[in-house]
Structure 1
Amino acid sequence: MILLRGMFLSIAACALALTCMAQALEDPAEEARAQALMRELRCVACENEPISQSSASIAEDMRARVRTMVGEGASDDEVRDWFESRYGEFVLFRPTGKGLSGLLLWGAPFGLLIVGGLIAFGVARRRQAGASEVEPVAPEDV
């Protein structure tokens, strides 16, 4: 029984490898570029897994689309833009940071740091000003 399972898994692995090899581009430079792009694109069905490593059927379709576009002569930016327009900025492992979402993503931490510094400065000034305004009270006034 164990032998049969091992044989089945070996045959399945070989079939998968042959399928992947059959889809590869003929030009090694184009295939290397397609592989690099596949590592930059996130599988929309898997969490934080590039399409180059995912076994989901949508990832297979995405890999085929990358190879098709690279084979047709599309630039890397055109491929990224196509996937971003189709699936949103989530599909990119390195978001471009365009528009309002990019401004919030990159600007919010610095804005919060500045606001926190201003609050701390104001609190420190109030404490310092409050400490110098206190006059000692004579014992007979109490």
Structure 2
Amino acid sequence: MKTVLASLLFLFAAEGPAHLDDPEQEARAQDLMREIRCVACENEPISNSGSDIAADMRERVRAMVSEGKSNEEIRAWFSERYGEFVLFRPSADGPGGWLLWGTPFVLLIAGGALVFAIRRRRDRSRETVEPVAPEEAG
């Protein structure tokens, strides 16, 4: 029993400081941790992930915040290291960013144009046909 308690104590001590001393810095770090994606979990922010790499990423965010780095510098560091994918809100700079942000709007406009064209074609094909009197039919 003592070995289990000692190993648990060692694990908690090995993680390092869980929070920054300055509440404003800790709040800023928490906001950043919600914006950065866990590379192991992929669709979970590092603030919620329990993976080892997410713990390392959280520690790195806190270290950079305590060093006085700006939010943009921290996002850029993670983006350079892990790629643009690591950010939940990637930048719109460059052709990849515009493609990422513009594609949904282009698809929406194209879908609306397609629906309009189909309805217009269907309406044109429905020409009114006048009924023929029985004496004219035969």
Aligned pairs (5 A) from 1:47-126: 47-126=42-121
Q: Give the letter for the 1:104 counterpart.
A: L
Unaligned runs of 5+ in 2: none
Higher mean C-alpha displacement, 74-83 vs 38-47: 38-47
1:29 matched residue in structure 2: 24
- Corresponding letter in the other structure for 1:139: A
Output the TM-score relative to the length of structure 1: 0.69
Q: Deviations over 1:42-68 (max 9, x none)?
A: 221223233234343333332232222
Q: Tell me how far 1:15 sits from its aligned partner.
A: 3.2
CA RMSD in angstroms, aligned pairs only: 3.0
Counting helix residues as a fraction of each chain, which structure ranks higher? Answer: 1
Pair 1:120–1:37, CA change in 2 (3 A): closer
Identity of aligned residues (%): 54
What is the TM-score with the length of structure 2 in the denominator? 0.71
Number of equivalent positions: 135
* 60-69 or 77-86, larger mean C-alpha shift: 60-69
